[in-house]
Amino acid sequence: MKGYTNNLKGRPKGTPNKVTTDLRQWITAFIDDNRDQIKNDWLQLEPKDRIQLFEKLLKYALPTLQATDLKMGFERMPDEQLNEIVNQLLETNEA
């Protein structure tokens, strides 16, 4: 029967995927075993290629930033407050 499993609830939340864990361990071991070669190859790259590779590698070391949605709710502000904001923006622009 398609999709049948003995575990009706599926994998418990928070349980790591075994395949992903194994692959990450393999990649880490591969990098550790080939550090010298990777450094030599890095030095052979053109500067722009080094920057591109560095940028690609950063996403594995730093958390990805999420865009935030900023809603000011201008339609609910009183006219006096809106006028004050506009005046402050105009003053800042003139300076």
pTM of the model: 0.45
Q: What is the pLDDT of residue 70?
A: 64
pLDDT digits over 35-84, tens only? 999 999 999 999 999 999 988 888 877 777 776 666 767 778 888 888 88
pLDDT average, residue stretch 17-40: 89
Do 33 and 25 meet the contact criterion of CB atoms below 8 Å apart?
Answer: no
pLDDT digits over 57-70, tens only? 888 777 777 766 66
pLDDT average, residue stretch 5-33: 80
